[in-house]
Amino acid sequence: MSVRIKGYAGTPLREEDLKQRKVLLVSYWPKAKYIWSAGIAIGRYLTELKSGRIVGRQCNKCGRIVVPPRMFCEWCFRPNDSWVILKDSGVVNTFSISHITADATRIKEPLIPAVIQIDGTTDAGILHLVGETDPKDVRFGMKVQALWKPPEERTGSVTDIKYFKPIER
């Protein structure tokens, strides 16, 4: 900042100041509930997951197969052309080791979130988890295979695949 300026505004508060209501405040929990519809492409994607299949969409103009699928190619900006049934195996494009859950609580058994590039696509990855492996054994480029829940437990969700596990060489 300019060396001519003497003071900066801002009154810091501590967590306790809020908890103990040392300053006046108002609390509000907006009870907004949402129903997000899947749309045409993801509607089919989730329905196919329930049947134990991963599907993508292909654009004839650039040749890309994309997953998660969408009804248009955003590169060519045109509707894409066909559904493609893909293998349920792939390669680890990137991964991480999570010691916290969605609301930042610590967990004992770490999760291994990863971007899995599905076999048969050039750069189409999906976010999922790697399982049945020690975190320190996960490698970039590792070949993995989906482990599906039994058909009666599937609900039409990305969690119908429990995780991707390493393929034995």
Partner 1 sequence: MFIKKRVAVVGAGMTKFMRRAQETGKELAYEAARMALDSCGLRIEDIECVTMGSAPDAFDGIHMKGEYLIDGAGAWRKPYMRNYVGGGTGVFAPIHGWQHVASGLFDTCLVVCEEKMSSCHPHPQAAFLTIFDNLTERPLGPNLVWIFALEMHRYMHVHNIPKEKIAVVSVKNKKNAMDHPCAQLPQKITVEDVLNSETLVWPVQRLDISPTSDGAAAVVLASEDMAKKITDSPVWIDGVGWNLDTAYWTNRDLYYPQYVENAARMAYQMAGIKNPREEIDFAEPYDPFDYKELHHMEGLMLCKKGEAPNLAWEGVTQRDGNLPICPSGGLLGVGNPIAAAGLMKICELFWQLRREAGKRQVPRDPRTAVAQAWGDLMQVGTVVVMRA
Partner 2 sequence: MGLTERIRSPMDMVHVEGEMPVNYLYTAGVAGERFLREIKENAKILGIKCRRCNTVHVPPKIYCERCFERLDEWVELTGEGQVEAFTTCHFDHDGSRLAEPDILAAIRLAGANESIVHRIKRAPAEDVHIGMNVKAVFREKKDRVGSILDIDHFKPSAL
Give contact residues for partner 2 (rule: CB under 8 A). 11, 13, 18, 23-38, 40, 42-43, 46-47, 71, 79, 103, 156-157
- The one of partner 1, partner 2, none whose footprint includes residue 77, by CB under 5 to 8 A per kind, is none
In whole angstroms, the minimum distance from the beta carbon of 154 to partner 1 comes to: 12
In whole angstroms, the minimum distance from the beta carbon of 147 to partner 1 comes to: 14
Residues at the interface with partner 1 (CB under 8 A): 1-5, 8-15, 17-18, 23, 28, 30, 34, 36, 38, 42, 45-46, 66, 68, 70, 74, 93-104, 110, 113-115, 123-129, 135, 140, 157-159
Contact 127, 113 (CB under 8 A): yes
- The one of partner 1, partner 2, none whose footprint includes residue 135, by CB under 5 to 8 A per kind, is partner 1
- The one of partner 2, partner 1, none whose footprint includes residue 33, by CB under 5 to 8 A per kind, is partner 2
Residue 133 to residue 140: CA distance in whole angstroms: 14
- Give the containing element (helix H, strand E) for 163: strand 161-166
* Upstream peptide bond of 68 is cis (omega within 30 degrees of 0): yes
- The one of partner 2, partner 1, none whose footprint includes residue 20, by CB under 5 to 8 A per kind, is none
Contact 111, 142 (CB under 8 A): no
In whole angstroms, the minimum distance from the beta carbon of 66 to partner 2 comes to: 16
Residue 43 to residue 47: CA distance in whole angstroms: 6
- In a 3-state reduction of DSSP, which class is residue 127? strand
Question: To which residue do tokens 């045109």 refer?
Answer: 78
Residue number with CB closer to partner 2 (40 or 76) = 40
33 CB-contact burial (10 Å; exposed 0-12 / middle 13-18 / buried 19+): exposed
